[in-house]
Amino acid sequence: MRHIDDAVLVPIRRGTGVLKLLRSYADALFDDPAVMTSDAQQLLIAQLCELVAVTVGATRDAIAVAEGRGIRAARLRAIKSDIEANLAIGALSPAAIARRQNVSESYIRKLFKSDGTSFSEFLLTRRLLRAHRLLADPLRFNQTIASIAFEVGFGDLSYFNRTFKRFWRATPSEIRGH
């Protein structure tokens, strides 16, 4: 297609990779409170427009621009959502995520690097944030610290305690006590 106008009312086939990516990105945006800032909204609108252009068959130049911004951001968000949904899996790895997301492990590493972090740093941080939330939840006070650690994907309790204390500057017991 030469112009986006040529794509108006042209059906998009179900199950295409870019359409799945577009949908997961749009769905994730509605759940993200950070989207409420004006700057974030402008960036996300541009990325969504680029993804739509790719989905409906834009020119090669438009696709190249979209892949540089919108598609990478959407892929990273989809990968992060996948990680969030599977935190409890102790052996969660870039290989497993790459298989589910239909990308390579090196692409995942590159996406996280461009985001200023790594897969393992993101995974550890998300596990520690979830553990903190569960430990502070009054409805979870009868649950042991060990069971919470295992629930968020830690396989070694002493490693959990060390990393938790380093990250939060408090022990899990101290968080539980507040």
Tokens of 4: 């986006």
Q: Are residues 150 and 63 in the same domain?
A: no
Domain containing residue 21: 1-85
Which of 68, 85, 102 terminates a domain? The answer is: 85
Query: How much is the pLDDT for 136?
Result: 93
Q: Are residues 57 and 93 in the same domain?
A: no
Q: Are residues 170 and 114 in the same domain?
A: yes
Q: Are residues 178 and 103 in the same domain?
A: yes
82-91, 115-124, 160-169: range with lowest mean pLDDT: 82-91
Query: How much is the pLDDT for 1?
Result: 43
Which of 58, 85, 112 terminates a domain? The answer is: 85
Element (H, E) at 69: none
Q: Would you say residue 113 has pLDDT above 60?
A: yes
Q: Are residues 80 and 97 in the same domain?
A: no
Q: Are residues 71 and 100 in the same domain?
A: no
In this structure, what are the phi and psi dihedrals at residue 86, rounded to the nearest 5 degrees? Answer: -125, 25
Q: What is the DSSP string of 7-51?
A: GTTPPPPTT-HHHHHHHHHHHHHHT-GGGGSHHHHHHHHHHHHHH
Q: Are residues 95 and 80 in the same domain?
A: no
Q: Are residues 80 and 99 in the same domain?
A: no
Which of 85, 114, 134 terminates a domain? The answer is: 85
Number of domains in the chain: 2
Tokens of 148: 């919470």
Q: Are residues 68 and 94 in the same domain?
A: no
Cβ(134)–Cβ(146) below 8 Å = no
Tell which wins on pLDDT, 22 or 137.
Answer: 137
Q: Are residues 29 and 63 in the same domain?
A: yes
Q: Are residues 96 and 68 in the same domain?
A: no
Q: Are residues 80 and 138 in the same domain?
A: no
Cβ(60)–Cβ(1) below 8 Å = no
Helices (H), the chain: 17-30, 38-55, 60-66, 72-85, 94-101, 105-114, 119-136, 145-151, 157-168, 172-177
In this structure, what are the phi and psi dihedrals at residue 15, rounded to the nearest 5 degrees? Answer: 80, 0
pLDDT band of 159, cuts 50, 70, 90: very high
Residue 154: CATH number of its domain: 1.10.10.60
17-26, 54-63, 86-95: range with lowest mean pLDDT: 54-63
